[in-house]
Amino acid sequence: MALVTTFITTPTVMAIYKPARNAGRRRLHHRKLHGPSAPSSPSSATAGAKELRVLACIHGGHDVPALINLIETIRGHTQPRRLVKLYILRMVELTERTSSILMARAARRNGVPFLRPRRGAGGDQVDVAFDTYAQLGHVHVRPMTAVSALHTMHDDVAAVAEDKRVSLVVLPFHKRHPGHGHGDDLGPEWRAVNRRILREAPCSVAVLVDRGFGGGEQVSSEQVAHGVCVVFFGGPDDREALELAGRMAEHPGVQVTVVRFVGGKEGSEEHAEVTLRPSNTKNADKSYTFSTAIVDTHKEKELDEAAVAEFRQRMGAMVRYEERVVVGNVIEEVVSIGKSREYGLVMVGKGRLPSAMVAELAVRAAEHPELGPIGDALASAGHGVTSSVLVVQQHDMSNADELPVSVVVDGHAHDDGELGGNKDMAEP
């Protein structure tokens, strides 16, 4: 009977389920937070300012508290209070079980398998949590569900992101509460989903590594009390994280600290010349990958300086700012921030166009290469990090292609395959 059921239900599912294959034919707008395509910044918020549209993906109720706290933090405290429009997308794997078939049958006519969760007495805890948040926080929240095979889930997420014109997709890390000795791992299939979304999303993406952000309970805007640290090395991804932190800094219950790492003597970045060269011998699934774009190093540094200067001028006393000259191990310096218990959340850029300091880390063994060297170090178990981590990737078509790399320092190769084959790109 099981065999017969399999042969009957499989064609049934495939007949009902029509995934979003036309995403590539859509008109993509390629949105991000920092730069020409960005929505209005917090400093220019007015009644006519553009909304920040966020698509938050979840697996279930365990993702909800940290997500609500993150969104509440991002909202800041500007007027009007509805500057954030939140779309919640519950990701459900399409299987041959009856429940999945029925959900797929309820898919919308446009071929994208999304539906609104049931309301009322039959709604589950996820529905109730977001209904409550929408009412108490005066936030526009629209919950949806995507029923899809895992190998096509990224297509559906990208289609919703484009259809709703969101500027940021928030993804839950595939491991829950990593580093506490009892974290759950959703497995390599869901990890692969995240990696494909990072690669295909038409907007910026942030991966949330939740270690109990906000204490695991939903809080109101008056109760939020978070310390947030932005680790800044430079590059487009770090500038995107800085822009997001600017929104957080306007929240009265959030204290934002920016720690900018600089190298060389007396804070200058004049030290060893680091070059990243594409490598054909490394596995992209086990090594850090970096953008293949040819960048103007000088221009990137100017953009970093301009972004930091504008941020400090705009935020003023609302943020703390410090510069640290790296004299030892960069990873140890960063991990110490996550271990300090001063911050509920540490934000970092993925670092696809890395500074020289981050580029040198390409030879490290990668546990979670999709997070970049800095995000990987903060997310990995065994380092004693207690803070939740948000790894931000700015959307930029010119930086979309990534490859493993070999590292060359002052003309000498430093590619150690025994260390796990990580790679970088040319120093920005």
Cα angle: 292, vertex 295, 300; to 5 degrees: 130
Q: Say how far apart CA 243 and CA 249 lie, in whole Å.
A: 10
Residue 328 pLDDT = 83
Q: Return the CATH architecture of domain 1-208.
A: 3-Layer(aba) Sandwich (3.40)
Q: For residues 58 and 81, what is the distance between their CA atoms, to the nearest angstrom?
A: 24
Strand partners, 185: 175
Q: Output the pLDDT for position 278.
A: 75
Query: How far is Cα 379 from Cα 160, in angstroms, rounded to an integer?
Result: 28
Q: Of 288, 298, 301, 264, nearest to 351 (Cα)?
A: 288
DSSP string, 196-242: HHHHH-SBEEEEEE-S-GGGGS---TTT--EEEEEEE--SHHHHHHH
**Which residues, listed in sequence order, are joined to residue 231 by a DSSP beta bridge?**
259, 348
User: In sequence order, what are the residues at sequence separation of 6 or more whose Cβ sits closer than 8 angstroms to the Cβ of residue 15?
Assistant: none
Distance CA 154, CA 158 (A): 6
Mapped onto helix, strand or coil, the DSSP state of residue 327 is coil
**Which CATH superfamily includes the segment(s) 225-428?**
HUPs (3.40.50.620)
pLDDT confidence of residue 207: 98
**What pLDDT is recorded for position 408?**
60
Residue 276 identity (one-letter amino acid): L
Tokens of 332: 């140890």
DSSP H or E stretch at residue 137: helix 125-137
Phi, psi of 340 (to 5 degrees): -70, -20
pLDDT at position 223 is 56
Q: Determine the pLDDT at residue 52.
A: 87
The dihedral over CA atoms of 353, 358, 364, 365, expressed in degrees to the nearest 10, equals: -50
End-to-end CA distance of the chain: 61
- Torsion angle of alpha carbons 269, 327, 259, 58, nearest 10°? 100
| Contact between residue 161 and residue 202 where contact means Cβ atoms under 8 Å apart | yes
Per run of 10 residues, the mean pLDDT along the chain (length 428 residues) is 37 46 46 57 44 92 91 74 81 75 53 46 70 83 91 95 96 79 78 95 96 65 75 96 93 93 61 68 78 84 96 94 91 95 96 86 89 95 91 81 70 47 39
Say what the pLDDT of residue 202 is: 94
Q: Can the peptide bond before residue 252 be classed as cis, meaning omega within 30 degrees of 0?
A: no
Residue 266 CA, chain-centre distance (Å), reads 33
With a CB cutoff of 8 Å and minimum separation 6, the contacts of 156 are: 19, 20, 112, 113, 114, 146, 148
Enter the pTM of the model. Answer: 0.81
Q: Which of 53, 375, 33, 62 is nearest to 209 (CA)?
A: 375
Helices marked H in 201-346: 236-249, 297-315, 330-339
Q: Start-end ranges of CATH 3.40.50.620 in the chain? A: 1-208, 225-428
Q: What letter does residue 185 receive in the DSSP assignment?
A: E
DSSP letter string over 49-111? PPPEEEEEEESSGGGHHHHHHHHHHHHTT-SSTT-EEEEEEEEEE--SSHHHHHHHHT--TTS
Residue in 215, 213, 231, 221 with CA at minimum distance from that of residue 173:
213
In degrees and rounded to multiples of 5, residue 225 shows phi and psi of -145, 85
